Amino acid sequence: MSKKILFAMALHNHQPVGNFDFVFEDAYQKCYKPFLDVLGEYPNLAISLHYSGPLLDWFGDNHPEFIENLKSLVKSGRVEIIGGAYYEPILPLLPSEDRIGQIQMQREYTKKTFGCDPAGAWLAERVWEQALVYDLAEAGVKYTLVDDSHLKFAGCRSEAITGYYITEDRGALLNVFPMDEKLRYFIPFRNPEETVEYLSGLATEEGDRLMVYADDGEKFGSWPQTYKHIFEDGWLRRFLDKITENADWLETVTLSDGLKRLPPVGKIYIPDASYREMMAWALPPEAHEELEDIEEELAKYGLFNRGRFFLKGGTWRNFQARYPEASEMYGKMISVSKLVSAMPAKSKKRAQAKKLLYQAQCNCPYWHGVFGGLYLPHLRQAVYERLIKAETIAGNASGKPNSVKFEVNDRNLDGHNEIEVDTGAARMAFKPNEGAHMFEYDLVDKAYNVLATLTRRRESYHRAVLANSAKASNNVGSIHDAVRLRDPSVAQKITYDWYKKESLIDHFFKQGTQLKAFSRCRFGEMGDFVNMPYEFDVKSDGPRTTLRMVRHGALWLDEGKRLLMVEKTVSFEDGKPDMAIQYTIVNEDKVPLDVDFGVEFNFALLAGDAPDRYYLAGEDRRNIGNLSTPVDIESTDAFGAVDEWKGVEWWLRFSPAAGLWAFPVHTASMSEYGVELVYQCSSVVPRWHFTLAPGRPQRLDITYAPVER
């Protein structure tokens, strides 16, 4: 064959910060190790590989022989190491200083470990914004990779883009390789012959074309059902054999070699984009469903392929709007980044804090799609743990006195002020504009945010589940192809909350409300206090600081509107994690009111059915079951949630005694294995019934006290 073509293969390998060690090990045994072992059998093939910082750290601690094997392949010239931001952040999420710092961290590791300076940078989730070009170039990056759809969104109309482009920002230049979509769907799910046939159709007499296959390395053994397909059934060896057999016209090159061998196809400016599935996931569920319907309608008329690159979906940043929990992590990350940046340059403490900050910028818990991401409690806690530790290091370095500190600012970047309180032992954050909720509680010594909760909300894939259209499949294929049910009972258990699962949520229940209805969020709420604005002020008196939050609201009864005032004060002491909470409820109307009042607390303790996490009731500490146990107690003066794994008990004490509900909060969320129920937190609700005479206050006291075991 006289025609020729260059073929660059690149694999991106990543596990998130905070993922379980057994997940790393399983991926190592099923994917990372066997792939490199097979690759070693083909000395004439070139490939570019990217490994994220969490993986490199784990390899170094657990399988240093893997690093040595990789070193030898790099030294032979057969493998190019692609750089990137070390802990795999979404770069637009970060301040420029952190973007550049993370990329330089990866460069330094690569130079020290593999003896080479990486020319390229993997772009996490291929999230692109044109302003990234300047920072990437500033960090020494020569090229990056995006989906070919990015370029088609910019107007490229070729079905296959056979080369790379150059782009620019503020005078800085960057080369961009497009990842061919057809190759991503062929490899490794179709017969190798189809890939070779496709590439042969693009070859030219001049040999002046380059095709890029780049995708997640986990496709090769870690994705469901792929280990058997790739290794036991021999797909990978058949594929590499087929490439080798056609080496006379199909030449494999690294991306850096491709950059040297060919000039750019042209110049381009790329709109904000990620891969097409990601941009659909970033849409609100209603819009996502509408996009799916439009695509289906276009397909009926044979117009989908022609029109799909004009149907762009949303942008990645929309996840910060879709999920307040992600926005709160992001807001805290930005706050901690500023603290770390203000630390003395080149100090050891700053280096420690910066590494923790960079780890907390790992992208996975900040969004959700076909992988669990934000829906995985241990990943959210991993982010908070590192942010809390970095914040503590930066705060200790400031030399400020150890009195209770508070700050009023827009911490979650929603246009409203929040209140942050730091006692030294605990850090809390409150949102007066939304029910005066407490939305963060960090136990500093444990580096644990017990309010890293998640609200049950609608997702676009619920439509298929609720319509009973999700079917199990044993076929090997892309995890984007179908909605699967990991638990057949999911459809019956899908529940949505109309308010966010935080703490200090003030409920006025319709009389007769039962635990089952409340736990499914199908209850009558009579007041306008749950998520409405409260006024606030903060006062300090020696070692004690008091946050006072007040709402003059109403109950909406069958007989009409009745005026009511709720005042809650939360008191803090220097060096203590406890909170003394006092409620004063006043009937501001002219007639007596019968009231069923409750205060909702939520505790994110990671594992609902683990034997080392359970409830205790009363001062006699009666064990009443694990955190998945529904609890309905007629009267108690104390209730505790125990976490032996973290070594802490979370206690609520009441005066007067309260009735109490507790129940687990499960989301129906997507993972690579299908839609499944995931424990997110436990709701604990002390309740009181009382009659309010006009003008007479009703006082309730609650102590919130974590106790280390």
Residue 512: DSSP 8-state: T
SS (H, E, C) 646-668: CCEEEEEEEEEEEEEEEEEEEEE
User: Which of the residues 125, 215, 391, 596 is marked catalytic?
Assistant: 125
DSSP 4: B
> Which pairs from 231-239 meet CB under 8 Å and 24+ separation?
231/30, 231/34, 231/38, 235/188, 235/192, 236/35, 236/38, 236/188, 237/38, 237/41, 238/192, 239/187, 239/188, 239/192, 239/195
Q: Residue type at 343?
A: M
Tokens of 652: 């609520």
Dist CA 669 CA 658 (whole Å): 34
- Considering the candidates 129, 169, 216, 292, report the single residue annotated as catalytic: 216
CB atoms within 10 A of CB 522: 11
Question: What's the one-letter identity of residue 325?
Answer: E
Kindly state the tokens that stand for 92.
């637009």
CA angle 197, 203, 204 (to 5 degrees): 150
Does 216 participate in catalysis according to the annotation? yes
3-state secondary structure of 182: helix
Beta-carbon count within 10 A of 399 CB:
6
Is 25 considered catalytic here? Answer: no
| Long-range pairs, 649-653, Cβ under 8 A, ≥24 | 649/616, 649/706, 649/707, 649/709, 650/450, 650/603, 650/605, 650/706, 651/703, 651/704, 651/705, 651/706, 651/707, 652/601, 652/684, 652/686, 652/702, 652/703, 652/704, 652/705, 653/702, 653/703, 653/705
Q: What is the DSSP letter of 217?
A: G
Q: Which two tokens stand for residue 518?
A: 């409340």
- Measure CA 57 to chain center: 20
d(CA 314, CA 643) in angstroms, rounded, equals: 40
114 touches 74 (CB < 8 A):
yes
Of 10, 32, 236, 2, which is closest to residue 118 (Cα–Cα)? 10
636: Cβ–Cβ under 8 A, 6 or more apart, which residues? Answer: 617, 618, 654, 657, 658, 659, 660
The H-or-E segment that residue 167 falls in is strand 165-169
Q: At what angle do helices 348-360 and 324-341 cross, to 10 degrees?
A: 160
Residues β-bridged to residue 169: 172
To 10 degrees, what angle do helices 96-114 and 348-360 make? Answer: 100
Beta bridge partners of 143: 120, 175
CA distance 530 to 536: 16
* Separation between Cα atoms, residue 323 and residue 281, nearest integer Å: 12
Token pair recorded at residue 393: 């290091």
User: So which residues are the catalytic ones?
Assistant: 125, 216
